[in-house]
Amino acid sequence: MTTKRGECKTPGGKLAAVTVTLAGDGTVESCRLDGDFFVESPSDAASRALLHDIEEALKSGKPVQAALEAHPEARLVGTDAAAIETAYARAMGEGKAGPVLRQSDGPGIAARSAAPLNANAPCRPSPDGTSRFVGDDAGYQARWESLKRDLAVIHDVPRMPAEQMAIDETWAREVAAGKRQPTLRIWEWAGPAVVIGKFQSAPDEVNLDVAERLGFDVVRRCTGGGAMFIEPGNTITYSLYAPLDFVAGVSIEESYRLCDWWLVESLRGLGLDVRFAGLNDIASQYGKIGGAAQRRFPDGTHAGPGSVLHHVTMAYDIDAETMGQVLNTSREKLSDKAVKSAVKRVDPVKSQTGLSREAIIDHLLAWFGERMDTVNR
């Protein structure tokens, strides 16, 4: 049997990759979809069912769009049917490198980056008659001021990577069930790690033998998105666990801006021209600072408020040589970037501010005033 892989990066969006296993006669034995895209769905089972049906559609030569439409409860974010089919064609040797072509952007495409949205009010009716949040500074600030009334802000103790992943999902589910108050947690890492997204392929994203030799734990988080290179003391990571009301009426794409609004405002106080980039990146005038990932947790018992988990990792400093050894970054992933290296895309906060990591964290915590909760839970 022969295994082949094809990739397609949506401009302004995410990477979709398809790995195909061929029998000796050239027929497709199996097909696997992975990438740094996101899936918004009510459960892990719904996400798995969507991806399974996409893979079956590719394998049988049926349209991927039909598989997407058969799962209205689950939504791809950052990629779409055209990109997935392009990745499959490339795996089969039928496609060439280059931008994916489509007649129109489907609903799975990430919102194109950038210009800030303006509104005279926090919400407006959408064409389907529902109330839709339209973001501006006043709207973002109003939601954050409301959330802060009950928000616990915790600067956590150092934890190993696997424990970090477990706590993140556990706390999000506890907020969803009404068993934990809204919380913002600043992480501390007790060991180096590569954190891959929920839908990524570890062997394709990480040089696993190198990671093991250098002592990096490779762990998978419960959200989509790309791989994060972590060394204790060289990153600043936080998680927000908020009730779903906080993002009510907000599109998935815009909820990234809402959840990171406080961070952008705080970093601007350090003299950085911070802005949102693409779907889930945060950048300054010098380059990318970090990336975010997000997931919504409906409460299955309908007794709780549900929750949104939103977490961000910012690069404070980078050991570029080690990062280059541990991570695999394909040329396709950088195809819509102005640079040819993942290291060059990230400009650490240390070089941009000249401040210690501790001073930056203290500055971020100061945004919340007296809300600091020093009790680790």
- Model confidence pLDDT, tens digit, residues 244-294: 999 999 998 899 999 999 999 999 999 888 988 888 999 988 888 999 999
Residue 97 domain-assigned (yes or no)? no
> In this structure, is residue 33 part of a structural domain?
yes
Cβ atoms within 10 A of the Cβ of 141, count?
14
The domain of 230 spans: 123-366
Is 62 in the same domain as 129? no
**61/155 same-domain check:** no
Residue 301 is assigned to a structural domain of this protein: yes
Whether residue 105 lies inside any domain: the answer is: no
Whether the CB-CB separation of 138 and 120 falls below 8 Å is answered with no
Per residue in 269-283, pLDDT (tens digit) is 998 889 888 889 999
Mean pLDDT within 308-329: 94
pLDDT at 128 over 90: no
Report whether 7 contacts 16 (CB < 8 A).
yes
Between CA 328 and CA 342 the distance in angstroms is 9
**Boundary of a domain, candidates 91, 108, 133:** 91
Pairwise CA distance, residues 250 & 286, whole Å:
29
Q: Would you say residue 47 lies in a domain?
A: yes
CA pair distance 214, 322, nearest whole angstrom: 9
Strand order from edge to edge, sheet including 287-297: 152-159, 183-189, 235-243, 307-315, 287-297, 281-284, 275-277
Considering the domain architecture, whether residues 241 and 322 belong to the same structural domain is answered as yes
Same domain for 254 and 128? yes
Residue 106 lies in a domain: no
- Residue that has been written with the tokens 């496609």 in this structure: 95
Q: Give the model's pLDDT for residue 219.
A: 98
The answer to whether residues 132 and 73 belong to one domain is: no
Q: Look at the block and give the residue holding tokens 């802005």.
A: 275
For residue range 146-191, what is the model confidence (pLDDT) as tens digits?
999 999 999 999 999 999 999 999 999 999 999 999 999 999 999 9
What is the reported pLDDT for 286?
82
How would you class 273 by CB atoms within 10 Å of its CB: exposed for 0-12, middle for 13-18, buried for 19 or more?
exposed
Using CA atoms of 107, 202, 318, 347 in order, give the dihedral in degrees to the nearest 10. Answer: -20
Q: At what angle do helices 81-91 and 44-60 cross, to 10 degrees?
A: 50
**CATH number of 71's domain:** 3.30.390.50
Closest CA to 245 of 168, 176, 311, 183: 176
* Burial of residue 215 (number of CB atoms within 10 Å: 0-12, 13-18, 19+): exposed
Residues 47, 194, single domain; the answer is no
- How many domains is the chain partitioned into structurally? 2
* Whether residues 69 and 131 fall in one domain: no
**H or E element in which residue 219 lies:** strand 217-220
**DSSP helix/strand/coil, 371:** coil
Q: How far is CA 250 from CA 86, 143, 281, in A?
A: 30, 11, 18
21 with 74, same domain?
yes
The rounded distance, in Å, linking the Cα atoms of 68 and 75 is 8
Which one-letter DSSP state was computed for residue 340? S
Estimate to the nearest angstrom the gap between the alpha carbon of 311 and the chain centroid. Answer: 8
- pLDDT over threshold 60, residue 101: no
Confidence at residue 230, expressed as pLDDT on a 0 to 100 scale? 97
pLDDT score of 99: 46
The residue among 111 and 336 whose pLDDT is bigger is 336
Q: For residues 359-363, give the mean pLDDT.
A: 96
Q: Give the list of residues 6+ apart from residue 104 with CB closer than 8 angstroms, or none.
A: none
Mean pLDDT for the stretch of residues 208-215: 97
Average pLDDT over residues 314-324: 93
Determine what percent of the chain is predicted with pLDDT higher than 90: 71
Is residue 361 located within the same domain as residue 293? yes
